[in-house]
Structure 1
Amino acid sequence: MKDLFDYCEFGDFKLNSRIVRTGLWESEREKTGNLTPEIYNRYENIAASGVGLIITELYSLYPKDVFSKFTNTPNYGRFVREARDLTDLVHVYDVPIFAQLGFVQFNKKTEQNMGVDDISIEDIRKIQTDMIMAAQKFDYAGFDGIQIGLGNYYFLSRFINPSFNSREDRYGGSTLSRLKIVLEIIKVIKETTELHINCRLNAFDGTTNGMALDETIEVAKILENYGADSLQITRPRSPQFFTRENKQKNPLIEASEKIIRNVNIPVILGGGASSQRQINEILNSTDIDFISMQRPFVADPSFLVDWQINGEGETKCKTCNNCYWKKTSTCFINRSAKWDVESEIKKEDSFL
């Protein structure tokens, strides 16, 4: 019988539990991109809680991307030094940590938010080079792996999607051809780093003539054959989908199971669970072995400690989605009292 706190294997890693923490936004960074004490403290609390694997908040590949104001970046001078401190801190607790990398927009001089069909071969080479250089920085900084953003509505998810990609060169057409941009990136990362490569992939996207589950399964098998070490299954707008009202209706469970049966690498179910009982039911009624959580760690980075003690835990997250909509790594509900105190202190200081 499986339990979320099982010691288990994930590829070459030994995990302290089956829970994967996936990040999203980073609002506590300095404007220059540097890591702050609050970020280090949060990661230490997560690592010490009993989590199995940490996937960071998104590292935005490009500084003028639509999400770059709400994310961190590998493109500042002290990144490797500061990120090394972060990974060393997490490793104290025998927890592996992956860096999540992605971007939504590709901009070139005066041409902004270019479409998949509009970019040139030279543009593709630039994207590939930038991704590979970021991966090498992650490797130098001590990260154990990289998560490549092929899901949600990130640029590469659109590139591999026939609904957006109607190119007539070698990067368009068949599923394999649309994946070449990613497969070539994976090949070089494998050759030049020691990183585990995880791909975050939409199970389906709901767009006209887009990717349905059958093609996603084909994509998953190709990614495995070309060197991907694990997958995380998501959907384009999962934070909007998972609410208190429909949390029992998780279409990713069936989709993840079908993908699991067609590959021989670890597959992570991307979100949708909110209690210890619910997670253990999923683990023991399906082929799923790993479950990702994001917003519960925003509500309380240490919640797994209480779960281990009590045995019947439920997240403090109210599924209000404010952390998603307001692009913050902090919880509006559970930390509002702290913010009120801090605001009053600032008011008093202003009169001194």
Structure 2
Amino acid sequence: MKDLFDNVELGDLRLNSRIVRTGLWESQREKTGNFTPEIYDRYENLAASGVGLIISEVYSLYPRDVFSKYTATTNYKQFVREARDLTDLVHLYDVPIFAQLGFVQYNKRTEQNMPVDKVSIEDIRKIQTDIIIAAQKFDYAGFDGIQLGLGNYYFLARFINPNFNTRTDKYGGSTINRLRIVLEIIKVIKENTNLHINCRLNAFDGTNMGMDIGETIEICQLLEKYGADSLQITRPRSPQFFTQENKEKNPLIEATEKIIKNVSIPVILGGGANSQNQINDILNETDIDFISMQRPFVKDPSFLVDWQIEGNGVSHCITCNNCYWKKTSTCHIRSCNPEFY
């Protein structure tokens, strides 16, 4: 019988539990670009909580492509040194940590937020080079892995989606052509770093001309073939979907199970669970072995400590999404889960 606090393996990484902490975006840097002191305290609390794997807040690829005013980027001189201090702190608790790389818009001097169809081959090479350089920085900084954002409506998610990508060159058309930009990135990262490569991607996007679960399975198989070490399954605008009203409906469970049956690398269910019993039910009623959580850690970075003591814990997060809309990953709600009222 599986339990969320089992010691397990994610590829070649040893985890202290089946829970993956996924990052949002934090006000985690000063105006100078440096990490704030609070970010170290936050990550130490996370590492000490009993979490199996930490995925960082979004690190933006480009300084102007940020989610909030103080989103951290990889483009300042002290990044590697400060990130090394962070990973060293997390590793004191025998917890691995991945760097989440965010990339929403590609901007040129004369054009902003360029559609994927208008991006030239030269632009593609620049994007790939910039991502690979960021991966090398993550490796130098001591991260155990990198999470490539292929989900939600990030730039690479749009690139692999036929609803956005109608290119007629080798980077458009078939599934493998639309995925080529990512496969080439993975190949170079594998050849030049020791990073575990996790790809976060949509199970589906809900549009008529977009991706369905059938194509997602094909994409997952290609990612595995070309070197991805694990997958995390999400959906566009997932925080808005996982609310109190929708807490009993999670189509990602069925989609994740279908993907698991068609690949041999680990697959992480992305979100939607907020209680110990619910998570253990998912683990034991499906083939799912790993579950990621996001907003419960915003409410209380140490809640898993209480869960281990109680045995039937429920997150105090009420999935109101105020932390999402404020774009600071800060809980603005004093009261706890309605089940405790």
- Could you tell me the TM-score, scaled by structure 2's length? 0.97
Mapped pair 1:187 → 2:187: yes
Report what 1:267 is aligned to.
267
Report what 2:72 is aligned to.
72
CA deviation after TM superposition for structure 1 residue 66, in Å? 5.1
Structure 1 residues 297-330: Cα deviation after superposition (integer angstroms, max 9, x where no partner): 0000000000001111011111110110010122
Mapped pair 1:42 → 2:38: no
Mapped pair 1:253 → 2:253: yes
CA deviation after TM superposition for structure 1 residue 108, in Å? 0.4
The 5 Å alignment of 1:103-122 reads 103-122=103-122
Q: Is residue 45–residue 302 contact of structure 2 (8 Å, CA) maintained in 1?
A: yes
SS at match of 1:69: coil
Q: Is residue 28–residue 329 contact of structure 1 (8 Å, CA) maintained in 2?
A: no
Structure 1 residues 70-128: Cα deviation after superposition (integer angstroms, max 9, x where no partner): 52111111000000000000000000000000211110002011000001000000000
Report what 1:53 is aligned to.
53
**Aligned residue type for 1:100:** Q
Structure 2's unaligned 5+ residue stretches are 336-341
The 5 Å alignment of 1:205-220 reads 205-220=205-220
Q: Is residue 100–residue 147 contact of structure 1 (8 Å, CA) maintained in 2?
A: yes
What is the distance in 2 between the residues matched to 1:227 and 1:69? 34
How many residue pairs are counted as aligned between the two chains?
336
**Aligned residue type for 1:91:** H
CA deviation after TM superposition for structure 1 residue 68, in Å? 5.5
**Aligned residue type for 1:287:** D
Report what 1:298 is aligned to.
298
Structure 1 residues 3-28: Cα deviation after superposition (integer angstroms, max 9, x where no partner): 00000111001110000000011114
Identity %: 81
CA deviation after TM superposition for structure 1 residue 31, in Å? 2.0
SS at match of 2:281: helix
What is the distance in 2 between the residues matched to 1:71 and 1:257? 34
Report what 1:202 is aligned to.
202
**Aligned residue type for 1:301:** P
Report what 1:124 is aligned to.
124
The 5 Å alignment of 1:1-352 reads 1-65=1-65, 67=67, 69-334=69-334
Larger radius of gyration: 1
CA deviation after TM superposition for structure 1 residue 35, in Å? 1.0
Structure 1 consecutive aligned stretches of length 4 or more whose deviation exceeds 6 Å: none
Report what 2:339 is aligned to.
none
CA deviation after TM superposition for structure 1 residue 29, in Å? 2.2
**Aligned residue type for 1:117:** D
CA deviation after TM superposition for structure 1 residue 63, in Å? 1.1
Q: Is residue 31–residue 70 contact of structure 2 (8 Å, CA) maintained in 1?
A: no
**Aligned residue type for 1:106:** Y
Structure 1 residues 202-229: Cα deviation after superposition (integer angstroms, max 9, x where no partner): 0000123100000000000000000000
Change (3 A) 1:77 1:68: farther
Structure 1 residues 119-155: Cα deviation after superposition (integer angstroms, max 9, x where no partner): 1000000000000000000000000000000000000
Q: Is residue 62–residue 68 contact of structure 1 (8 Å, CA) maintained in 2?
A: no
Q: Is residue 70–residue 327 contact of structure 1 (8 Å, CA) maintained in 2?
A: no
**Aligned residue type for 2:261:** R
SS at match of 1:320: coil
What is the distance in 1 between the residues matched to 2:62 and 2:92? 31
Q: Is residue 277–residue 312 contact of structure 2 (8 Å, CA) maintained in 1?
A: yes
What is the distance in 2 between the residues matched to 1:10 and 1:225? 17
Structure 1 residues 280-304: Cα deviation after superposition (integer angstroms, max 9, x where no partner): 0000000000000000000000000
Q: Is residue 146–residue 197 contact of structure 1 (8 Å, CA) maintained in 2?
A: yes
CA deviation after TM superposition for structure 1 residue 67, in Å? 1.9
What is the distance in 2 between the residues matched to 1:262 and 1:334? 43
Structure 1 residues 36-55: Cα deviation after superposition (integer angstroms, max 9, x where no partner): 11100000000000000000
CA RMSD of aligned residues (A): 1.2
